[in-house]
Amino acid sequence: MNSKRNIYNNIVVLGGSESGVGAALLASKHGVDVFVSDAGKIKPDYSSTLLNYKIPFEELGHTFNRILEADLVIKSPGIPDSAAVVQLVKHSKPVISEIEYASWFTDAKIVGITGSNGKTTTTLLTGHILKSEGLDVCIAGNVGQSFAGQLADADHDLFVLELSSFQLDDIVDFRPDIAVITNITPDHLDRYDYDFSKYAESKMRITMNQQKEDALVYCADDAETLNQLKKHSIKAKKYPFSLKPLSEAACAFTEGEKLSINIYNNPLTMTLEELALQGKHNTYNSLAAGISARLINIRKETVRQSLSDYQNIAHRLEFVANVHGVSYYNDSKATNVNSTWYALEHFDRPIIWIAGGVDKGNDYSSLLPLIRQKVKAIICLGTDNITLHKVFSEFVDTIVDVDSAEQAAAVASILAAKNDIVLLSPACASFDLFENFEERGNKFKAAVKSL
Rg (CA), the chain: 22
Distance CA 359, CA 370 (A): 20
Q: Are residues 352 and 442 in the same domain?
A: yes
Q: Which residues contact 407 (CB under 8 A, 6 or more apart)?
A: none
- Whose CA is closest to 336, among 437, 426, 405, 401? 426
Dump strand ranges (E) for 280-372. 318-323, 326-330, 351-355
Q: Are residues 263 and 280 in the same domain?
A: yes
What is the value of pTM for the model shown? Answer: 0.78
Q: Are residues 188 and 305 in the same domain?
A: yes
| CA distances for 356 relative to 163, 340, 364, 415, angstroms | 25, 11, 12, 18
Choose one of 71, 93, 115: the last residue of a domain: 93
* pLDDT bracket for residue 277 (50, 70, 90): confident
Q: Are residues 232 and 344 in the same domain?
A: no
Q: Are residues 121 and 213 in the same domain?
A: yes
pLDDT tens track for 369-395: 999 999 999 999 999 999 999 999 999
Q: Are residues 63 and 112 in the same domain?
A: no
Q: Are residues 336 and 404 in the same domain?
A: yes
| CA distances for 444 relative to 146, 173, 376, angstroms | 27, 42, 20
Q: Are residues 245 and 330 in the same domain?
A: no
Q: For residue 16, is it within any domain?
A: yes
Q: For residue 150, is it within any domain?
A: yes
Cβ atoms < 10 Å from Cβ of 233: 6
CATH number, domain containing residue 440: 3.90.190.20
Task: Determine which helix (DSSP H) or strand (DSSP E) holds 217, and give its type and residue range.
Answer: strand 215-219
pLDDT tens track for 63-102: 999 999 999 999 999 999 899 999 989 888 999 999 999 9
Total number of domains constituting the chain: 3
Domain membership of residue 423 as a residue range? 318-449
Indicate the Cα dihedral angle 167, 168, 171, 173, nearest 10°: 130
Contact 284, 322 (CB under 8 A): no
Strands 215-219 and 137-141: unpaired
Distance CA 33, CA 431 (A): 34
pLDDT tens track for 191-225: 888 888 899 999 999 999 999 999 999 999 999 99
CATH number, domain containing residue 14: 3.40.50.720
Q: Are residues 265 and 121 in the same domain?
A: yes
Cα dihedral across residues 206, 208, 214, 219: positive or negative: positive
Q: Are residues 234 and 290 in the same domain?
A: yes
Distance CA 45, CA 13 (A): 17
